[in-house]
């Protein structure tokens, strides 16, 4: 009993927590945004299910289906069960009749074909207008011993082909010729919105059976089939899938004997094959038949392909409505899950790519396996997935940004913002450990600030220091650096950890120069009564350091330490001796990708033995001037004293600048590339 009560209490607690989570989500997201997101998801689901029936998307789906159907159509030899007997343009010329076609030829052909042992005959010609030779044709039709099916169409289902008065004549004509062997049949074909015949027509109750069903034994599997027409491709261009002979051969008893073998035991389809009449686009011909090159197919041949499919009992599996809904729902759910996934970038890239690839290739694979993919929405899946991914991703970003803003604001009180953001992504990074990383280290110092603090009130000291540090901290964050610490008026920052980027070097050096300029602006805008403030000096170095969270369980700090940090600090201090503003080591300068440096020679930093090549950013100086100084330093390192004297003389006017005058002095005190040792 106690166990059951505990389970009930746990379930109630879980429901309460879910309720609170839902309430919190709605509050963070907002009711309007929540409803908008749900609306987009419903729209995404509709697209993933019904894209084949939508404007634009439907055209894209049709084009993709045609590509599948044409590329995976079976290549077969000529079908020995079906023969097309056609009126041609030559027949029209010979008879002098175009519309309606000459019926005497048809009557004679029917009489001869009837004696040749055909299995069935289908006539795809509407007799909707009177002709002088109607009686001859009626006599032939009434005397048929072969099951013969004569074309019928109604104004209700085919307003373009037949008018009401034509339908009245047609119905009377068919009534006059109907016997046990001769019966009316529907020749109705359907096309999609783009005018392409892809699917079997439906069977309206007011029409007789469709011709191919009427001419073949009943097949329950095809009684209500509305799926794709399985068009076939010939093995070669000179041997079509369905043989086709001109009706003239059968109308003349002499020539009919020679083609009798083509009729016996076959289903005969009779119709027209004219240049500009009764032509259809199909998946095979939409971009030109890949074998024959034909751009369109006559209606009689569409019927022939349908008959061949029926005789082969080739009814491909069509996905039922419920499965299409299930697939659409799966696609939308996949988009939602992917949008809120917290996987690593490469996993996300693989996941996104594989899903899009699946949506585009799955219908091709299914078509190749013999499924009916006519109503399978490949573009709809991709579009529905994208809508779901975008809408849920946007909602997640709204909620996440509010949560991150709250957490980062709290973490930002004792951690740099960049570190706080990284910790929010992966809380395990708060673990007390370090790692070796190659980073760009930046140290700054405000010249003479300690002496200044003795000359002004403490309140003014606090105001000035906070103002100054805010300016430099903003620069670090603007250029994507990690703020390590403030040491009095000094700022320590680095680039390359906890997250490294290819342009860390450029951003670090640009930030160093921007911090110098921020210091200059701080000096110019100092309040009245404040003694002159010194300039900001900056040192930049690239090297290996140990970075991580240090300080014990009670107080942690994300920081870096090591020789590279010490080198950057000594470079900052060297500015005072060298009369420079920003000093960058060769290691950092070469990795920054910037070309705005002027070399300041080679020095040995205080407390070090290994010399360092140093550079000063000079984006405010002409490139020619920087190049001339570079030549001077190169001549000194090569031991070319004459060139050093000559170049120093040429650059004498630059000696008015403190940093250049200092450089001239140091070059004069050293020989053949000797390093200047700082005391």
421: tokens are: 């953001």
pLDDT for the residue 564: 92
pLDDT for the residue 209: 93
All residue ranges of the chain with pLDDT < 70 are 1-29, 287-294, 399-433, 552-556, 679
pLDDT for the residue 414: 39
459: tokens are: 């309140």
Q: Considering only CA atoms, which of 44, 2, 110, 47 is closest in space to residue 377?
A: 47
pTM: 0.58
Backbone angles phi, psi at 453, to 5 degrees: -65, -20
pLDDT for the residue 413: 43
269: tokens are: 């389809």
Q: Cis check for the bond before 301: say yes or no (omega within 30 of 0).
A: no
The DSSP element (H or E) to which 648 belongs, if any, is helix 641-650
CB 121 within 8 A of CB 341: no
Q: List CB contacts of 642: < 8 A, sequence separation 6 or more.
A: none
Quick one: three-class SS letters along 366-434? HHHCCCECCCCCHHHHHHHHHHHHHHHHHHHHHHHHHHHHHHHHHHCCCCCHHHHHHHHHCHHHHCCCE
Residue 573 and residue 125: Cα distance in Å, rounded? 101
Can you list the pairs that 522-530 forms with residues at least 24 positions away whose Cβ atoms lie under 8 Å? 522/467, 522/468, 522/471, 526/464, 527/460, 530/452, 530/456, 530/460, 530/464
CB burial class (10 A; 0-12, 13-18, 19+) of residue 6? exposed
pLDDT for the residue 641: 83
């Amino acid at each position: 009993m106690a166990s059951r009560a505990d389970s009930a209490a746990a379930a109630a607690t879980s429901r309460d927590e879910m309720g609170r989570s839902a309430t919190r989500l709605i509050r963070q997201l907002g009711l309007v945004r929540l409803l908008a997101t749900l609306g987009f998801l419903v729209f995404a689901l509709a697209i993933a299910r019904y894209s084949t029936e939508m404007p634009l998307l439907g055209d894209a789906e049709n084009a993709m289906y045609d590509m599948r159907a044409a590329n995976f159509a079976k290549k077969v030899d000529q079908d020995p069960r079906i023969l097309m007997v056609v009126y041609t343009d030559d027949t029209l010329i010979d008879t002098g009749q175009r519309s309606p076609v000459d019926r005497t030829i048809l009557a004679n052909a029917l009489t001869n074909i009837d004696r040749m042992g055909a299995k069935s005959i289908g006539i795809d010609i509407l007799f909707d207008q009177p002709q002088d030779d109607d009686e001859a044709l009626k006599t032939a039709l009434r005397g048929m011993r072969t099951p013969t099916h004569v074309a019928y169409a109604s104004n209700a289902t085919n307003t373009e082909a037949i008018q009401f008065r034509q339908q009245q004549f047609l119905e009377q004509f068919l009534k006059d010729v109907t016997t046990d062997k001769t019966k009316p049949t529907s020749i109705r074909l359907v096309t999609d919105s783009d005018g392409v015949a892809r699917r079997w027509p439906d069977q309206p109750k007011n029409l007789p059976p469709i011709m191919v069903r009427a001419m073949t034994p009943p097949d329950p599997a095809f009684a209500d089939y509305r799926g794709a027409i399985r068009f076939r491709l010939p093995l070669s261009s000179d041997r079509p899938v369905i043989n086709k002979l001109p009706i003239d051969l059968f109308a003349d008893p002499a020539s009919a004997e020679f083609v009798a073998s083509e009729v016996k035991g076959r289903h005969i389809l009779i119709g027209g094959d004219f240049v500009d009449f009764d032509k259809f686009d199909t998946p095979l011909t939409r971009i030109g038949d890949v074998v024959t090159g034909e751009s369109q197919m006559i209606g009689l041949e569409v019927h022939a392909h349908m008959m061949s499919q029926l005789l082969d009992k080739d009814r491909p599996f069509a996905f039922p409505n419920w499965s299409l809904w299930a697939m659409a729902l799966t696609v939308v759910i996949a988009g939602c899950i992917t949008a809120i996934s917290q996987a690593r970038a490469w996993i996300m890239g693989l996941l996104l790519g594989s899903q899009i690839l699946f949506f585009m290739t799955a219908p091709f694979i299914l078509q190749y396996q013999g499924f009916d993919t006519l109503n399978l929405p490949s573009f709809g899946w991709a579009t529905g997935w994208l809508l779901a991914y975008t809408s849920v991703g946007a909602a997640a970003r709204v909620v996440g940004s509010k949560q991150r803003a709250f957490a980062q604001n709290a973490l930002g009180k004792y951690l740099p913002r960049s570190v706080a953001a990284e910790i929010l992504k992966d809380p395990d990074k708060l673990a007390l450990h370090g790692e070796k990383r190659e980073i760009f280290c930046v140290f700054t110092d405000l010249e003479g600030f300690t002496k200044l603090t003795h000359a002004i009130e403490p309140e003014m000291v606090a105001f000035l220091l906070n103002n100054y540090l805010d300016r430099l901290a903003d620069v670090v964050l603007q250029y994507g650096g990690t703020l390590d610490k403030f040491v009095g008026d000094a700022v320590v920052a680095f680039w390359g950890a906890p997250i490294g980027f290819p342009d860390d070097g450029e951003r670090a050096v640009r930030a160093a120069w921007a911090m110098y300029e921020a210091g200059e602006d701080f000096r110019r805008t100092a309040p009245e009564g404040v003694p002159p403030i010194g300039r900001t000096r900056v040192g930049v170095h690239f090297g290996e350091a140990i970075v991580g969270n240090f300080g014990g369980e009670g107080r942690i700090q994300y920081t870096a330490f090591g020789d590279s940090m010490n080198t950057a600090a000594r470079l900052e201090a060297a500015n005072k001796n060298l009369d420079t503003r920003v000093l960058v080591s060769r290691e950092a300068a070469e990795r920054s990708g910037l070309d705005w440096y002027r070399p300041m020679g080679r020095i040995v930093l205080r407390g070090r033995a290994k010399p360092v090549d140093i550079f000063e950013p000079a984006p405010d100086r002409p490139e020619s001037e920087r190049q001339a100084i570079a030549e001077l330093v190169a001549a000194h390192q090569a031991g070319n004293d004459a060139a050093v004297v000559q170049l120093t003389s040429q650059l004498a006017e630059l000696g008015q600048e403190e940093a250049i005058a200092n450089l001239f002095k140091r070059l004069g005190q050293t020989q053949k590339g000797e390093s200047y040792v700082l005391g």
